[in-house]
């Protein structure tokens, strides 16, 4: 598939450029098919930036001044990749009985169902003890996330509730701040779990200030919809290039999706 061979000219964030053995980017799709020809999710608006070259008819009687350098629009504005909500996984693809590990923006996260809070939770996928992936663990009978290595258990707030090896009459080491797991803010929108990629406590209530992307068309009753998730072994910019290139469909997807017969 040519999308795998395409070289991107868009610089991805630094954390994505690292060589990773797992897929770089996980996609959660909400696919809605329009029943109305008037509604189209792929409409584009015309750019506001139009460049004009003006040639003056005047006759110069003095030597012309050297041409001024053209001022380009400022394109240096930094995009903060870690100040946005990201879709993680459609709820329909998650099993409440087990933790699910994912990598997004170079971050290893674990999504799990907190039955006590009746919510999906997103944690840093590293146990604070010896950094074992919590996604390899289990949900215990009390609905806590249990590490597979030494059995430490965490509640939905990331607090350690049990260190099995700690003596019962010893100091309450499980309550030490260093025994807590990093918790990412998370929410559900369009039947997808979204997360905010920072465990810094200052973002704990970020949802009250900033919401995940809102796409009004997805709320139209005239759209049917379907969600699915797929891991792909390349960055988002390669996928976007691929999706904006419909001329490949009848060749690269021949016999898979309906399209005109190739010439
Ligand atoms: S690494 Fe998790 S309990 Fe030891």
Q: Is 150 in the pocket of ligand 1 (CB under 6 A)?
A: yes
Whether 14 is covered by a domain: the verdict is no
Give the model's pLDDT for residue 61.
40
CB contact set of 146 (below 8 Å; sequence gap of 6+): 137, 138, 139, 140, 152, 153, 154
Q: Is 129 in the pocket of ligand 1 (CB under 6 A)?
A: yes
Q: Is 130 in the pocket of ligand 1 (CB under 6 A)?
A: yes
Integer Cα distance of 78 and 194 in angstroms: 23
26 neighbors 228 (Cβ within 8 angstroms): no
Whether 117 is covered by a domain: the verdict is yes
Place of tokens 């609905």: 143
- Which protein residue's CA is at the shortest distance from atom 4 of ligand 1? 150
Q: Is 164 in the pocket of ligand 1 (CB under 6 A)?
A: no
pTM above the 0.75 mark? no
CB contact set of 20 (below 8 Å; sequence gap of 6+): 103, 106
Residue 227's domain is classified under what CATH number?
Answer: 2.102.10.10
Whether 241 is covered by a domain: the verdict is no
- Which protein residue's CA is at the shortest distance from atom 3 of ligand 1? 150
Residue 174 CA to ligand 1 centre (angstroms): 12
Q: Is 147 in the pocket of ligand 1 (CB under 6 A)?
A: yes
Q: Is 132 in the pocket of ligand 1 (CB under 6 A)?
A: yes
Number of domains within the chain: 1
Give the model's pLDDT for residue 74.
63
Give the model's pLDDT for residue 41.
31
Which ligand 1 atom sits closest to the C-alpha of 151? 3
Per-residue pLDDT of the chain (263 residues; tens, 9 = 90+): 433 333 333 343 443 333 334 444 445 555 544 443 333 333 333 333 333 333 333 333 444 455 555 556 666 788 999 999 999 999 999 999 999 999 999 999 999 999 999 999 999 999 999 999 999 999 999 999 999 999 999 999 999 999 999 998 999 999 999 999 999 999 999 899 999 999 999 999 999 999 998 888 888 889 888 888 888 888 889 999 999 999 998 899 888 887 777 77
Residue 28 CA to ligand 1 centre (angstroms): 30
Whether 69 is covered by a domain: the verdict is no
Which ligand 1 atom sits closest to the C-alpha of 132? 1
Whether 159 is covered by a domain: the verdict is yes
Which ligand 1 atom sits closest to the C-alpha of 148? 2
Give the model's pLDDT for residue 55.
33
Give the model's pLDDT for residue 77.
82
Give the model's pLDDT for residue 27.
52
Whether 128 is covered by a domain: the verdict is yes
For 111, the domain range is 23-28+82-232
Judged on CB neighbours under 10 Å (0-12, 13-18, 19+), 260 is exposed
Dihedral, CA of residue 80, residue 84, residue 86 and residue 91, to nearest 10: 170
Integer Cα distance of 21 and 110 in angstroms: 17
Whether 87 is covered by a domain: the verdict is yes
Q: What six digits make up the tokens of 55?
A: 């040639």
Q: What six digits make up the tokens of 46?
A: 């015309």
Give the model's pLDDT for residue 204.
95
Whether 192 is covered by a domain: the verdict is yes
Q: Give the torsion sign (CA, 13, 14, 18, 20).
A: negative
Q: What six digits make up the tokens of 209?
A: 């200030």
Which residue among 124, 149, 165 has the greatest number of ligand 1 atoms within 8 angstroms of its CB, and so is best to mutate? 149
CB contact set of 242 (below 8 Å; sequence gap of 6+): 2, 3, 6, 248
Integer Cα distance of 175 and 156 in angstroms: 14
């Amino acid at each position: 598939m040519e999308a795998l061979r395409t070289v991107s000219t868009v610089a991805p964030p630094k954390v994505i450029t690292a060589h990773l053995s797992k897929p770089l980017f996980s996609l959660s799709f909400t696919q809605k098919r329009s029943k109305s020809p008037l509604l189209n999710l792929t409409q584009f608006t015309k750019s506001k930036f139009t460049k004009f070259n003006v040639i003056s008819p005047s006759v110069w009687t003095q030597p012309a001044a050297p041409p001024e350098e053209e001022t380009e629009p400022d394109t240096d504005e930094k995009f903060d990749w870690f100040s946005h909500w990201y879709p993680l996984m459609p709820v329909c693809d998650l099993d409440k009985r087990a933790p699910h590990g994912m990598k997004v923006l170079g971050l290893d996260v674990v999504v799990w169902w907190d039955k006590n809070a009746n919510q999906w939770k997103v944690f840093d996928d590293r146990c604070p003890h010896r950094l074992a992936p919590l996604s390899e663990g289990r949900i215990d009978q009390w609905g806590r996330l249990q590490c597979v290595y030494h059995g430490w258990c965490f509640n939905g707030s990331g607090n350690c509730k049990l260190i099995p090896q700690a003596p019962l009459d010893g100091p309450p080491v499980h309550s030490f701040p260093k025994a807590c797991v990093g918790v990412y803010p998370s929410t559900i929108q369009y039947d997808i779990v979204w997360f905010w990629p920072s465990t810094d406590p200052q973002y704990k209530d970020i949802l009250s200030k900033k919401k995940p992307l809102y796409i009004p068309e997805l709320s139209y009753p005239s759209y049917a919809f379907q969600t699915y998730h797929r891991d792909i072994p390349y960055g988002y910019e390669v996928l976007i290039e691929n999706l904006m290139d419909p001329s490949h469909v009848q060749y690269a997807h021949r016999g898979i999706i309906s399209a005109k017969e190739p010439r």
